[in-house]
Amino acid sequence: MQKWLVLLSGCLLLCLAVSAQKTSLFRKVGSWLEAKNDSNYIEEHTRDLTVRVFGSRKYNYYDIVDNKIVDDGIVDNGIVSNTKSSQEVLYRPNTPFNVGFGFNYRFIGINVAFNLPFINKQSGDYGRTKVLDLQTHIYSRKLVVDFYGQVYRGYYIANTRRLFSNLGSGNVEMIRPDARNVNIGLDVQYVFNAQRFSYRAAYLQNDYQKKSAGSFLIGGGLFGMRMKGDSGLIPSYVEKAGFFNGENFYRTRVFSAAANAGYAHTFVYKKHWFATLSLTGSLGLNYTTLNRAKEADLRKIGLQLNNNIRISIGYNSSRYFAGIHYVDLTTRSQSPVPGTYQTMGAGNFRISFARRFTLKKQLF
């Protein structure tokens, strides 16, 4: 019940922000965020009606990583040899590929997508994942806002065969229908060169970037994550082998804050073919709690390292758009167990086809 309240509260706050657009404060902030386009680089189509059909897959994932130093027991000239041993448990959901349609007009953008059963198979080797994903990416001229509100239940461990080499070829991946995750976050980035570089061209299709240009980015993010299972999240055969120092936990909670910086660039070939690449890195702190079944909880303030990747390639013109878009956020949180960390990731893969229509009369 609590997770629903949190997500609904987030939606309410967004609605209140939109309803406040006529206030003087909103107008001041809006004018500061707007940028005059350099028409040699960007052709604006926000007053056109942009209609699209698309296919998309939203997702999140959870990794438990043991990266500690191991004593090899080899002595060379009186010096004991040590190596870094890296092992991980990879939780992945079985999410559908949805097909839908949408439109953009001025500051309004709506997309509706459907899960078509004949395209997706959400059972079998990978189990079934129940999803509520309110992931939203907002692109203004000077600001990019990524909101993550995700509730997932049902995962499979993607690297079971590698972890347990005795599994035969007839065995399936280890399914965890009891594993459930709540992931809530907000990440904001400021675009310095908004006059010549447009995220909207690649991701909203209501701009057309005609020449190559890029921009430095700066911002920050706040995230909260909880992963829980009915039993230990680390498989017993891996725990017995010393993974995570033999510790196990049925629930983990991470709260983090980090500042980010990066760079984005759109490469344009023959005026219409484009590739937009963006990468930001974040540095901050997290507070992590590991809940163990029979022992006291483990808690620690640790280092937080995040990265955000955006890639889009395709064709753009004054009227037509066709492209592939990919957005991926990875949050890496140092855990209370020495030499280990947890990773939570979220993202969206989309294929879009869009057409812009010039309106004889503006709707508003």
- 340-357/320-334 β-pairing: antiparallel
Top pLDDT among 23 and 193 is at 193
**Rounded mean pLDDT, 309-320:** 96
What is the predicted pLDDT for the residue at 361? Answer: 83
Top pLDDT among 122 and 5 is at 122
**Rounded mean pLDDT, 235-251:** 86
Q: d(Cα 254, Cα 358) in Å, to the nearest integer?
A: 48
**Rounded mean pLDDT, 320-338:** 95
CB 353 within 8 Å of CB 322: yes
For the stretch 17-54, pLDDT in tens is 544 454 555 555 556 667 788 899 999 999 999 999 99
Instruction: Tell me which architecture the domain covering 2-17+50-357 has in CATH.
Output: Beta Barrel (2.40)
In this predicted structure, the answer to whether residue 336 has a pLDDT above a threshold of 90 is yes
**Rounded mean pLDDT, 121-126:** 67
Kindly state the tokens that stand for 65. 């990583």
For the stretch 54-86, pLDDT in tens is 999 999 999 999 986 554 444 445 444 444 556
Top pLDDT among 362 and 308 is at 308
Q: What is the DSSP string of 191-230?
A: ETTTTT--HHHHHTSSEEE-S-EEEEEEEEEEEEEEEE-S
What is the predicted pLDDT for the residue at 36? Answer: 83
In this predicted structure, the answer to whether residue 193 has a pLDDT above a threshold of 50 is yes
What is the predicted pLDDT for the residue at 4? Answer: 44
pLDDT over 70, % of the chain: 80
**Rounded mean pLDDT, 181-192:** 96
The SS3 call for residue 270 is coil
What is the predicted pLDDT for the residue at 289? Answer: 97
Q: Which of 214, 211, 149 is nearest to 185 (CA)?
A: 149
**Rounded mean pLDDT, 111-129:** 76
What is the predicted pLDDT for the residue at 174? Answer: 83
Q: Which of 264, 289, 269, 283 is nearest to 331 (CA)?
A: 283
Q: d(Cα 319, Cα 45) in Å, to the nearest integer?
A: 9
**Rounded mean pLDDT, 196-224:** 95
**Rounded mean pLDDT, 311-318:** 96
Top pLDDT among 122 and 36 is at 36
In this predicted structure, the answer to whether residue 269 has a pLDDT above a threshold of 90 is yes
In this predicted structure, the answer to whether residue 341 has a pLDDT above a threshold of 60 is yes
φ/ψ of 131, rounded to 5, equals -130, 135
What is the predicted pLDDT for the residue at 164? Answer: 62
Sequence-distant (6+) residues with CB within 8 A of 33 are 140, 141, 142, 143
pTM: 0.82
What is the predicted pLDDT for the residue at 124? Answer: 64
Every domain of the chain and the residues it spans: 2-17+50-357
Q: d(Cα 137, Cα 309) in Å, to the nearest integer?
A: 13
Average pLDDT value for the chain? 85
In this predicted structure, the answer to whether residue 185 has a pLDDT above a threshold of 80 is yes
Q: d(Cα 197, Cα 189) in Å, to the nearest integer?
A: 14
Beta bridge partners of residue 284, listed in sequence order:
258, 304
Beta bridge partners of residue 307, listed in sequence order:
281, 330
Q: d(Cα 73, Cα 80) in Å, to the nearest integer?
A: 6
How many C-beta neighbours within 10 Å does residue 256 have?
26
In this predicted structure, the answer to whether residue 208 has a pLDDT above a threshold of 60 is yes
Match 């690449």 to its residue by tokens: 277
**Rounded mean pLDDT, 351-355:** 96
Q: d(Cα 252, Cα 63) in Å, to the nearest integer?
A: 12
In this predicted structure, the answer to whether residue 235 has a pLDDT above a threshold of 70 is yes
